[in-house]
Chain A
Amino acid sequence: MSVYLLGTIYFLEIMLFIGMILCFIRLIKSTLIADKVVALDLISTIIVGVIALEAITTNQVVFLKIAAVIALLSFLGNIAFAKFIGTGGR
């Protein structure tokens, strides 16, 4: 693995964390529940991307399974929140 790949990946991880900070700003600022749920979904998607980058830097395959599990859990949480909002918050 070359140095350029490692440097690029570290730089791009910082970029992904900046994106996550933007999502947190939206999560704090908005007053609507659906808006917050969309922000949380994007945060979990960014976390899956960071784990994929970690799989490249550490040369370990186990991270892919972790990424699959986190994607599944975020989807289930999204569906549960959608049901919760659709029934009027009850």
Chain B
Amino acid sequence: MKDIFVIFFVCIGTTFMLLASIGLIRFPDVFSRMHASGKAATVGIASLFIAVAIHFSELSIISQIILIITFLFLTAPLGTHMMAKAAFKDPQKRPPVFYPKPATTILPTPAPAAVYTDEEIEPEIILNTEQSKSDSNVT
């Protein structure tokens, strides 16, 4: 009976960790990659340690595991935040990649500009916001 809960929590934790890795591969930008790995990995590892706590189910081990989970929940967003601040000030950085908005409004003449991308991504289209703003003012 105990094993069922252990298997459940272990599966959830591993799924979240694997999703964090896939997000690290698939996302186009440094900041969105941090968003993937900073949150999903934290939840995944908390679920794994909950599974360990259910499997042992002794008071001393559960207190140790609560300590580890609290430490991870405190330090993982802190480290990600510091990395995001440092990467934002980095002179080597590229500006973030924006996806085009969903076309609910009629766009002005599309001026697709070649955009800063990573090396493995196809070039995306950035809407020329200043041009669209001036057009809306005229009309």
Q: Which residues of A contact B (CB under 8 A)?
A: 1-2, 4-5, 8-9, 12, 15-16, 18-20, 22-23, 25-26, 29-35, 37-39, 41-42, 45-46, 48-49, 52-53, 55-56, 61, 64-65, 67-68, 71-72, 75, 78-79, 81-83, 85-86, 88-89
Contacts and interface: CB of A to CB of B under 8 A. Distances in A.
Given A32-B30, A33-B90, A35-B30, A22 B22 contact: yes
Interface of B: 3, 6-7, 10-11, 13-14, 17-18, 20-22, 24-25, 30, 33-34, 37, 41-42, 44-45, 48-49, 51-52, 55-56, 61, 64-65, 67-68, 71-72, 75-76, 78-80, 82-83, 85-87, 89-94, 118-120
In the complex, the 3 A-B pairs of residues with the closest C-beta atoms, listed nearest first: A19-B21, A34-B87, A86-B86
A12 B11 contact: yes
A54 B27 CA distance: 31
B94 to A, nearest CB: 8
Contacts of B3: 1-2, 4-5
Given A56-B6, A64-B68, A78 B79 contact: yes
A78 B33 contact: no
A2 B47 CA distance: 20
Which of A26, A37, A52 is packed against the most chain B CB atoms within 10 Å?
A52
A16 B45 contact: no
